[in-house]
Amino acid sequence: MTATIWRRRVWLGFCYVVLVPGAILFLAPFAWLVSASFQHVGDIFSWPPQWIPKNPTLDGYKGFFGIGKAGELAQGSEGAWRWFLNSAFVAGSVTTLQLFFNSLAAYTFAKRRFPGRNLIFLVFLATMMVPPQVTLIPNYLVLKHVPFFGGNDVMGQGGHGFLDSYWGLILPGAVSAFGIFLLRQYMMSIPDELLDAARIDGAGEFRVFWKVVLPLCAPALAATAIFTFTYAWEDFLWPLIVVSSSDHYTAPLGLALFVVKNRTSWNLLMAGSVVATLPMVVVFLIFQRRFIQGISMSGLKG
């Protein structure tokens, strides 16, 4: 008996010995990021590296947001606040639109019978396989030629259309086949009798959807909302292609172009990176359970 207890203790001890140093290694890059964001430019380059800043400073943050002296970076840092607002606006809009459009479509596929349903659903399903890179180029051209926008004429010629605008950032992401599929699976489990009861009480189709089905889907909606938001917040390739003026930069785009164009101001970059990561970490810490629910929902049923 004692032998098994000892074996168990040794085993649990082994778990710690592996997991704790592992976690420290995993965390080290973050720790370095946070530490560097509070250092002077010169100290970031110091050798040996300073894990705890000897002369902590907020210069990185101030510089990044253009508070105080921005010096050589005046033009880039002037827009930094705006990049984050842009990201919040774009990610918020994409999430709201997706939740609404996806759940409307999911409800229709799950609970309504109408001619063409299976065919349309099949097309949706099939396109889940299409990698976004295939539609990247045509969508770029389509948005460029939207008539009457961005200086375009009626034929969509002459200007830049929806490119370099919030429309261009938001519209292509406003619906997702995968999101529709997930919500539909969830809605299938809601009993039809519940819906019929509401209909008998005189509720119209939209009321049934809005007052009965949606509230029951709250867990699924929350999980997909978190995913959609984080995905939209950190999307990079699409903004890189669509946006050209720094007024419309999203946070990841601004940071990335900062790296490519600017090789000296690492402290500003580190500060900006900390700020770009914070919302994600906060969302994760608050919604940890939903996050994990969402992963297992998409993972194990899909």
Partner 1 sequence: MSARGRGARNGVLKRMWRERSAYGFLAPGLILFSIFTVFALGFAFYLTFREWNILEPEKPFIGLQNYQDLVHDKDFGRSIINTAYFTGASVPLGMLVGLCVALLLNQPIRGRGLLRTLYFLPTVTPFVVAAIIWKWLYNGDFGLFNYYLLKTHLITEPLVWLSDKNLAMPAVVLMSVWTSVGFSMVVYLAALQAIPNDLYEAARIDGAGAWARLRYVTWPMLRPSTLFLMVMGIIGSFQVFTQIYIMTSGGPLNRTTTMVYYIYEAAFKFYEMGYASTLAYALFLMLLVFTALQLRLYRRADV
* CA–CA gap between residue 110 and residue 117 (Å, rounded): 10
C-alpha span between 180 and 175 (Å, rounded): 8
Q: How far is the CB of 40 from partner 1 (least distance, A)?
A: 14
With beta carbons less than 8 A apart as the criterion, state whether 139 and 240 touch.
Answer: no
Nearer to partner 1, 69 or 280 (CB): 280
The DSSP string of 51-120 is SS-SS--SHHHHHHHT-S--GGGHHHHTTHHHHHHHHHHHHHHHHHHHHHHHHHHHHHHHH---TTHHHH
Q: How far is the CB of 35 from partner 1 (least distance, A)?
A: 11
Structure tokens at 183: 């919500």
For the bound state, the minimum distance from the C-beta of residue 194 to partner 1, rounded and expressed in Å, comes to 18
Cβ proximity to partner 1: between 39 and 66 the closer is 39
**Minimum distance from residue 228 beta carbon to partner 1 (Å):** 14
Q: Which is nearer to partner 1, 68 or 302 (CB)?
A: 302
Helices 177-188 and 117-127: crossing angle in degrees, nearest 10, is: 130
Instruction: List the one residue out of 191, 179, 170 whose CA is nearest residue 103.
Output: 179
70 or 183: CB nearest partner 1: 183
Q: Which is nearer to partner 1, 66 or 279 (CB)?
A: 279
CB of 255 to partner 1, least distance (A): 5
